[in-house]
Structure 1
Amino acid sequence: MTGNQPEHQQTAHEPKHKKDLTRRKVVVAGAGAAVAVGAAGTLAASGAFAGEKSTAASASGTSTAAGTCYKLTSETTEGPYYIDADKLRRDITEDKEGIPLTLALKVIDSETCKPLRNAAVDIWHCDALGLYSGYESFSQGGGTAPTDAPSGTPTDTPSGTPTGEPPSGAPSGGTGGGGGHEEPTSDTRYLRGTWRTDKHGLVTFKTIFPGWYQGRCVHIHTKVHVGGEWTDAGYEGGTTCHTGQLFFAEEAVLASAEVEPYSTSTTTRTTLTEDTIYDQSGTTGGLLKLKYHKKDIAKGVQASLTLGVDPDATNEGTS
């Protein structure tokens, strides 16, 4: 963990054909953290995508009839709670309680269907009660009211024109999907991580099933970075070619809501069809493929998705 903010400047070794390059650096505790995905992670991810025969055929060069071979995964806003590549790791759980979740993502070029090797993939999401690490004072999950919330009935009517700058910070409950970036207010970094894709474009994370908070359905944020360099210190340079969000089917969310600590949440839940960020386009929009025991989701969930991206594009998700 580090309190230093990431640097954002161009360096001489960065590719000349890339535009809007940003310098990214991951500070990693201990030596040898930036290593290839282990055999166990590769097997888990490979199994999650065993049924995608058409994509595999295209990636090997045996099928690209006309146009794109895979739809571009929807781009979304990064939300206010992104912390730039703060932790290089696959297990992002730390000590957070919740339903175990294994998330397997395959990143491919949507034009050629070839896997993107050595891409850096970020994921981050709230805990079982809606709190984001680094932003507990903003996100205020679990239905907790802000400490300075007004009470009672106003005794007079405001008049005149407001002066000065509007207050900063996210409203109670947060948005997690819109609004400008906020600077972290704490040093916590649970449920955040960055890892590299293997030669098959696969990356696997171990985490927990996210909870929910005011105004948003259950989701996970993600970014894909390409053109950078993996070093002993982490990942540097390159561009962000994809910023998206990953979503969960209502059936699974309803099942999770029966399990502690999710069941203790007092926050009104926004459904998948009510969400303002999810575009209702299924897997193209980030809807995850889920596997779990229908009668006992507490045992764990396996989630997977193929992300079709344009490696030559820049999609920071900040506009």
Structure 2
Amino acid sequence: MERKHFLKSLLMGAAAAPALLTACSKEDSVTPSTATTGGTTTTTGGTTSSSCTVAPTETEGPFPTHTPSSYVRSNITDGRTGYAMTAKITITNTNNSCAALAGLLVDIWHCDAEGNYSEYGGTAMQSTSYTNVHFLRGRQTTDSNGQVTFTSIFPGWYSGRATHIHVHVYTASGTSLKVTQIAFPEGTGTALAAVNGYAKTLSGYTYNKSDNVFSDDSAGVQLATVTGSTTAGFALSISLGVPA
């Protein structure tokens, strides 16, 4: 593991655990649906990585999918309520002028509207237990355009981290090519501002510039484009380069 990412993982373990306990302590009760707030349209986005840059390698933990091959599906919502979101991810080959890569396996996972992950819980890292469910996790195979599309909800957040989506890319035979994370644009007019942290609001939120994963991404390689609204739903898109 590169020294930078090793240090990141140490920082997450040492500093994030107490904060996560606070952020994940809410009961699984009322989570807003797509009809509970206004319909301000957001058009502000990030980049789609046209410079053929390798996506940064990031930590897979602390909540990776236990058996990703069991969740081959495009709709990963699994009953979780929240603002609808589709995520279109394009995988390109940085060893071949960022040509589209077909036939790769792409896993994604993220927290729910309250900041909780499925498959985990009942610990200091996440007090609410969802150990026996598998929401907001899935796997797809890239098409001829190098794309996968998932139907999900807009992620919430938990203490110490900005809103994010985890991504793990494998070859068709299961060899790992890249573990990375996707960041969301911030500020007035963005989807993040419209969602406003769901029930928790954005009080105490960690922004990208202070996040221990995204703070060094000055080129915005991990920053997605997110458009849409709370009423119509959101559309996320990003291109991630891997050396294949």
TM-score when normalising by structure 2: 0.71
In structure 1, give the amino acid aligned to 2:152.
T
Match of 2:71 in 1: 87
Superposed CA deviations along residues 236-273 of structure 1, whole A, max 9, x for unmatched, are: xx211010000111132222117xxx134697311121
CA distance in 2, matches of 1:97, 1:87: 19
- What's the offset of the Cα at 1:305? 0.6
**Structure 1 segment 225-240 matched on structure 2, within 5 A:** 225-228=170-173, 238-240=174-176
In structure 1, give the amino acid aligned to 2:238.
L
CA distance in 2, matches of 1:126, 1:310: 28
CA distance in 2, matches of 1:132, 1:276: 19
- What's the offset of the Cα at 1:172? 5.5
Q: Report SS of the residue matched to 2:175.
A: strand
CA distance in 2, matches of 1:209, 1:246: 13
Match of 1:99 in 2: 83
Q: Is 1:114 aligned to residue 99 of structure 2?
A: yes
Match of 1:268 in 2: 204
CA distance in 2, matches of 1:207, 1:97: 9
User: Which residues of structure 1 form unaligned runs of 5+?
Assistant: 1-50, 56-68, 139-169, 175-183, 229-237, 312-319
CA distance in 2, matches of 1:199, 1:91: 20
Larger radius of gyration: 1
**Structure 1 segment 120-135 matched on structure 2, within 5 A:** 120-135=105-120
CA distance in 2, matches of 1:172, 1:263: 17
In structure 1, give the amino acid aligned to 2:168.
K
In structure 1, give the amino acid aligned to 2:151.
K
Contact 1:214 1:267 (C-alpha < 8 Å) held by counterparts: no
CA distance in 1, matches of 2:126, 2:77: 25
Match of 1:180 in 2: none
Runs of 4 or more above 6 Å deviation? none
**Structure 1 segment 1-319 matched on structure 2, within 5 A:** 70-83=52-65, 84-85=67-68, 86-112=70-96, 113-138=98-123, 170-171=124-125, 186-228=131-173, 238-251=174-187, 252-257=191-196, 262-264=198-200, 268-278=204-214, 279-284=216-221, 286-293=222-229, 297-311=230-244
- What's the offset of the Cα at 1:283? 3.6
Q: Report SS of the residue matched to 1:306.
A: strand
Aligned residues between the structures = 191
Distance 1:76 1:173, change over 3 A: farther
CA distance in 2, matches of 1:185, 1:81: 11
TM-score when normalising by structure 1: 0.55
In structure 1, give the amino acid aligned to 2:92.
I
User: Which residues of structure 2 form unaligned runs of 5+?
Assistant: 1-46
Q: Report SS of the residue matched to 1:136.
A: coil
